[in-house]
Amino acid sequence: MIVPHGLLGLVAQSGLIPRGTRVFVFQRIFVVFLVLGTLVGVIVIGYMLYNAYKYRDTGQEIADADQLTLGELPSGGGKGKKLFTSFALSAVVVISLVAWTYGTLLYVEEGPSQAESLEIDVEGYQFGWRFVYPNGHVEDSTAGGALRVPADQAVRLRVTSNDVFHNFGIPAMKVKTDAIPGQTSETWFEASETGTYTANCYELCGAGHSYMTAQVVVMEPDEYREWYTNLNESTS
């Protein structure tokens, strides 16, 4: 199903499509599906129980005028209006949900603009990660280095590999992308809380695959600027 981008733009401007960190967006998707699924389940089961009670066997015999003979079709019943209404409502709900989810995932794919983001190059190798900052500073996970980023700022990662296929992912940030030799894939995330998180390789890449991890240190913006400034001074 193809949804016009103009329609998605209008939906995005209306505020219906969530904006924020990847964690926040995926939480909103989960909540919407949970609420709609629960609502539909309650309606269907409630209507089923209502009809089971309404047409229950009371032990009373049905009058002959209300009985049907073999091959006779019942009269009345609304001539399919209930069926049409249920199909129409279902179509509206499903199409709206598909359009909303598609627009939301487009935002997750594109992310904030490059002008708003901190760009860091990520290179995978057997069995570690290198993080290259805009000033040329390199952090290597096998040497105790970490991916250091500021809180409340979008971070755009340019991910590649210098040997075999890897896959870089930070589960706490809901971010994951391939690291392919000779190619660069881009992804982004934004951390709302400071702390230390773990990045893993999610592509079986050799005997040391399970040890291919790295620390992701989310720092206060002022603390990060001080750390980054000291790097510039030490390399000058």
pLDDT digit string, tens, across residues 1-26: 444 445 445 555 556 777 778 888 89
Q: What is the pLDDT of residue 118?
A: 94
How many other CB atoms sit within 10 Å of the CB of residue 156? 18
User: What integer pLDDT is reported at residue 3 of this predicted model?
Assistant: 45
Confidence (pLDDT) at 76: 62
User: In terms of pTM, does the model score above 0.85?
Assistant: no
pLDDT of residue 111: 80
Convert 196-222 to b/e letters by CB count within 10 Å (16 or more is b). ebebbbbbebeeeeeebebbbbbbeee
Q: How far apart are CA 145 and CA 151, in angstroms?
A: 18
Take residue 47 and report the two structure tokens written for it. Answer: 């209507």
State residue 158's pLDDT score.
96
pLDDT score recorded for residue 89: 86
List pLDDT tens digits, range 135-191: 999 999 999 999 999 999 999 999 999 999 999 999 999 999 999 999 999 999 999
* Residues 212-232 pLDDT 10s: 999 999 999 999 999 999 886
- Please state, in angstroms and rounded to a whole number, the distance separating the CA atoms of residues 96 and 134: 42
Show Cβ contacts of residue 213 under 8 Å, excluding neighbours closer than 6 positions. 141, 198, 199, 200, 201
Lowest-pLDDT choice from 73-87, 104-118, 195-209: 73-87
SS3 18: coil
Those residues with Cβ within 8 angstroms of residue 225's Cβ, 6 or more apart along the chain or in another chain: 150
pLDDT score recorded for residue 235: 55
| Three-state secondary-structure class, residue 121 | strand
Give the model's pLDDT for residue 8. 47
When the pLDDT of each residue in the chain is averaged and rounded to a whole number, the result is 85
Confidence at residue 147, expressed as pLDDT on a 0 to 100 scale: 97
Pick 106 or 194 by higher pLDDT.
194
